[in-house]
């Protein structure tokens, strides 16, 4: 953003904070949660949730992940539509692979079969551990 004037950067930042806040509020209301209940769920104060929803405070990446888990939304849900995907990027259908997914599959297929098996087990265990960790954070 070096070529963009500071006032424009500030204005865009405020717009994004507002949009993120609106989406947090929408997701919370869809789940039928009060600000206080959501705050308790993620281990924060009710005032913090209010500040997020009004755009006074900007959540960090970790907070967005925790909010996503608590509100059953992907992190991308919280961002304005134009920031969710690069310009000109076409989302694949659920049956199609992204370029990155295709490259990953090619790389895995190039490995020895026994290594593929151990890699797959390790990935699954890592995902299970991550899921448990996220549940622990939400259930404290």
Per residue in 41-50, pLDDT (tens digit) is 999 999 999 9
Query: Which among 2, 53, 58, 56 has a CA at the least distance from the CA of 25?
Result: 53
Q: Which DSSP symbol is given to 77?
A: G
* Rounded distance between C-alpha atoms, residue 48 and residue 140, angstroms: 18
Structural domain that includes position 75:
1-87
| Whether residue 1 has pLDDT greater than 50 | no
What is the tens place of the pLDDT at every residue in 66-119?
Answer: 999 999 999 989 987 766 665 555 555 667 777 777 788 888 888 888 888 888
Q: Compute the Cα dihedral for 83, 86, 90, 94 and give only its sign.
A: negative
Query: Which among 31, 29, 49 has a CA at the least distance from the CA of 40?
Result: 49
Question: Which token pair is 55?
Answer: 């755009």
Q: Which helix (H) or strand (E) holds 17?
A: helix 6-30
| Whether residue 12 has pLDDT greater than 70 | no
- In this structure, the answer to whether residues 65 and 31 fall within a common structural domain is yes
Inter-axis angle of helices 35-42 and 61-71, nearest 10: 120
| Whether residue 10 has pLDDT greater than 80 | no
Give the least confident one: 47-51, 58-62, 122-126. 122-126
Instruction: Name the domain count of the chain.
Output: 2
- In this structure, the answer to whether residues 102 and 69 fall within a common structural domain is no
Query: Which among 81, 72, 44, 73 has a CA at the least distance from the CA of 59?
Result: 44
- Model pTM greater than 0.85? no
* Rounded distance between C-alpha atoms, residue 10 and residue 32, angstroms: 33
- In this structure, the answer to whether residues 3 and 66 fall within a common structural domain is yes
What pLDDT score does 103 carry? 83
- In this structure, the answer to whether residues 69 and 20 fall within a common structural domain is yes
């Amino acid at each position: 953003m070096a070529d963009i004037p500071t006032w424009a950067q500030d204005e865009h930042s405020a717009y994004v904070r507002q949009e993120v806040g609106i989406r947090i509020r929408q997701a919370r209301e869809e789940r039928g949660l009060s600000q206080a209940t959501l705050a308790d769920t993620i281990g924060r104060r009710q005032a913090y949730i209010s500040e997020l929803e009004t755009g006074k405070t900007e959540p960090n990446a970790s907070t967005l992940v925790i909010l996503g888990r608590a509100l059953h939304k992907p992190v991308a849900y919280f961002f304005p539509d134009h920031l969710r995907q690069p310009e000109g990027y076409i989302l694949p259908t659920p049956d199609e692979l992204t370029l990155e997914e295709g490259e990953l599959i090619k790389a895995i297929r190039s490995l020895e079969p026994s290594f593929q098996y151990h890699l797959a087990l390790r990935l699954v265990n890592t995902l299970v551990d991550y899921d448990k960790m996220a549940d622990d954070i939400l259930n404290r």
